[in-house]
Amino acid sequence: GFCFGVRRALEMMEEAACKQGPMASLGSIVHNRQVVEQLRRQGVEMITDPAEAEGRPVAITAHGVGREVMEEMRRRGIRVVDTTCPIVSRSQQWAKRLTEEGFAVIVFGDPNHREVRGVLGWTGGKGLAIPDEACLDSLPRDLPSRMAVLSQTTETGPRFASFVKRLLESHIDRVSELRVINTLCNATSSQQTAAQELARRVDLMIVIGGRDSANTRHLADVGRQEEVETYHVESATEIEPEWVNGRRSIGVTAG
């Protein structure tokens, strides 16, 4: 199900809507259409730009935002409900600190993911996101020799470790100092481990969650890596009868 950060954000947003009335969420709070619709009925409208606030309080989602977005909201006098996940906040603080110390900040993760964009927003344009270790071959030549590596919180431990190893092996001649900050979410890692153990005991895996959810996609990947037939669905209505007919054991998990 939802991780601690998302559950916390949902609770904070529902409480704020109850106490303060109609409000807005800067982006979707969670990659789950049913939950987004439920929040809309409670008076929470999703917006994509602070300019759309129209006098309402605005919630920052668990994914967080960059410094420029935060400063714009303050300039506009917007009442901010900050539901940024504490683990993501820690990543942002590290990105800011390491940039100020002169490190090139590299975030292992999806460059288009809101969490990653938000973390990079605290590097003053000096950080970069790399989604896969294969992309390290085209690492910009003008990066400082002091490098720091963070990870998108929903990444897997083995992938992050492999990425760091490849970075050092491929660019040892360019790296004078390397800092590795473990910004992985322990709860997410535990969920992935549980999914792996489940996949080893069943002959079909069904993973429930939004298709835009990085966490849910990683859970589905875990099943496939264990060579178990795996389906990623958003709701029970998507499950086809032929998927489950004749199966001895079925594993179900949610992101």
Token readout for 102 is 């002169």
Exposed, middle or buried, 234 (CB in 10 Å: 0-12/13-18/19+)?
middle
Cβ neighbours of residue 240 closer than 8 Å, sequence gap 6 or more: none
Choosing from 100, 115, 169, 227, which is the catalytic residue?
A: 115
| Nearest residue to 110 (alpha-carbon basis) of 215, 233, 225 | 215
CA quadruple 88, 89, 95, 98: dihedral sign: negative
115 among known catalytic residues: yes
| Helix, strand, coil content of the chain in percent (nearest 5) | 45, 15, 40
Nearest residue to 9 via CA among 93, 115, 99, 108: 115
**Nearest-5° Cα angle at 47, 218 to 233:** 30
Cross-sheet strand order for the sheet of 230-233: 230-233, 205-208, 251-254
What tokens does 100 get? 């100020």
HEC per residue, 50-74: HHHCCCCCEEECCCCCCHHHHHHHH
- The catalytic site residues sit at 115
